[in-house]
Amino acid sequence: MSRKSKASASAATGSSTGGREQNREQYYAELERLQMGALWTVYRTVLTREPQRREVPYLWPWEMVRPQLLRAGEMVSTDEAERRVLMFLNPGNPARIGATATLYAAAQLILPGESARAHRHSPAALRFIIEGSGAFTCVEGEKVRMSPGDLILTPSMVWHDHGNDQDQAVMWLDGLDIPLMASFNCMFLEEFTSEVQQESMPPSRSEKLYGRGLFPSGSTPEPKGPYSPVWAYRWTQAREALECLAKSGDPDEFDGHLIRYANPASGGEILPTMGCRVQLIPKGMHCRARRQTASSVYHVAEGSGYSVLDGVRFDWKKGDTFAVPVWCWQEHAAETTDAVLFSLTDHPLLAPLGLVRSQPYPENNGFQAVRSVFGEQPG
C-alpha cells in the first residue's frame, strides 16, 4: 500500500485521525493569517523534478502579423504610443508579456517621417530588421542605420530613439528581457531631456571602433557595460560568415551551421541576459531533436522549413516568429530550400548560474513522432 492510500484509509476509519485532520486545517489557516505556510503541503509542486509546462511552443506568421502592424500604423501615432509595437504573447505566459518565461518578443513599425522618442530602461533590447531600409536607431548619440537582417543592440540603460527619415515603412522584431526584469521587479524607465538625441557621434562609430579588431587605445574611454560595444551586426557579414562556415565542414546534427553573435571585446555573448544566434539549415537537412533549459525565440530570416516542437509540427517561412519554451523538445528541418533562422536565447543568463542542460531525444532514432500540425484542427 502506498503511503498516500494508507493515510486516507486510516482517515476513513479512525475518528481520532479525523480530529487530527481538522486540527491540521485549523493550523494551516492560522499559519496563513500569520503570513507563513507549511512547506510540506506544497513541496512537490514547487520543487518539481523537471520544468513544468507553462509557456507553450507557439508561432506568429508574418502574413498575419504584418497587416495588423500596418493597421496599428493607421490607428496610433508614435507620439501617442511611445513605441508602435505589437507584442507576441505566449498563451501560457501568466503575466501576458512574454513569448517565453524570460524573453519578450514583438514587432515594431515606424513610418516615413516619424520618430519614437528617446528613452532608456533597465530591460535590454535587440532588434532584427524584417522589412524596409533607411530608418535608424540613435544609440548614445550614434545613428545606426537599418537594413533587413541587421541586428541592432540597445543594452540596459542605454539611450535610444528611433527615426525614419526615408520613404519606406520599416518593421522589425524586438527582443527584450522584460519578463526577467519584471520578475526581479527591477524596472526603470527614464525619458531623455529632449524628444530625440542630437547626433553627437560619427555614424557607425561603434562598428568602426570595436567591430573590426582595431580597438581605440590610450585615453579613449573603455566600453562601459557588460555588453557588446558594437551597436550593429550587419546581415551581409552574418550571411557571409554562414556561407563560409557551410563550406568549411559538416553541419551540427542539432543546429545545422550555427553562428553565435559575439562581443568582440570579450568573445562572450552580446548581452548578459540575451544571446543571438543565426543558423543555416541546408536544403533537405533534418536536424535531430533535443530539449534545453534555455528558451528561445526564432525568426525566419530566409527560406522555409518546419520545426517539431513537443510533437507538434510548425511550418514556417520568411518573416515568421516562433517561441520555444524551456525543456520543449525541438527539431528543425529544411525541405525545398536552404533555411536561415535567427534566434535570441536566455542561454547567457543560465550559463554563469550553472543551469545549462541539454538532452538529446532518446527514442525513435532521435526524431519526434508528429502528433499534430500547428494551426490545424486536431483529428
User: Which spans of this chain sit near ligand GTQ (rule: CB under 6 A)?
Assistant: 83, 85, 106, 108, 121, 125, 160, 174, 176
Compare residues 66 and 313 and give the one whose CB is closer to ligand GTQ: 66
**Quick one: which of 132, 151, 147 has its CA closest to 206?**
151
**Residue in the shown chain whose Cβ atom is closest to ligand GTQ:** 174
Compare residues 121 and 286 and give the one whose CB is closer to ligand GTQ: 121
CB of 73 to ligand GTQ, least distance (A): 15
**Quick one: which of 53, 46, 87 has its CA closest to 326?**
53
In angstroms, rounded to a whole number, what is the distance separating the alpha carbons of residues 51 and 284? 33
Compare residues 83 and 313 and give the one whose CB is closer to ligand GTQ: 83
> Which letter does DSSP use for residue 132 in this model?
-
CB of 172 to ligand GTQ, least distance (A): 9
Using alpha carbons, list the distances in angstroms from residue 234 to 140, 147, 316: 19, 8, 23
CB of 99 to ligand GTQ, least distance (A): 11
User: Cell 551586426 identifies what position?
Assistant: 233
User: What cell numbers appear for 243 in the block?
Assistant: 556561407
Compare residues 179 and 256 and give the one whose CB is closer to ligand GTQ: 179
In angstroms, rounded to a whole number, what is the distance separating the alpha carbons of residues 150 and 167? 19
- The per-residue DSSP string of 197-249 comes to ----S-TTHHHHHHSSS----TTSPPP-SSS-S--EE-HHHHHHHHHHHHHHS
Residues whose CB is less than 8 angstroms from the CB of residue 22 and which lie 6 or more positions away in sequence, other chains included: none
CB of 334 to ligand GTQ, least distance (A): 29
Compare residues 174 and 302 and give the one whose CB is closer to ligand GTQ: 174
User: Cell 542630437 identifies what position?
Assistant: 198
Compare residues 108 and 228 and give the one whose CB is closer to ligand GTQ: 108
CB of 107 to ligand GTQ, least distance (A): 8
> Which letter does DSSP use for residue 157 in this model?
T
CB of 181 to ligand GTQ, least distance (A): 11
CB of 208 to ligand GTQ, least distance (A): 24
Compare residues 86 and 351 and give the one whose CB is closer to ligand GTQ: 86
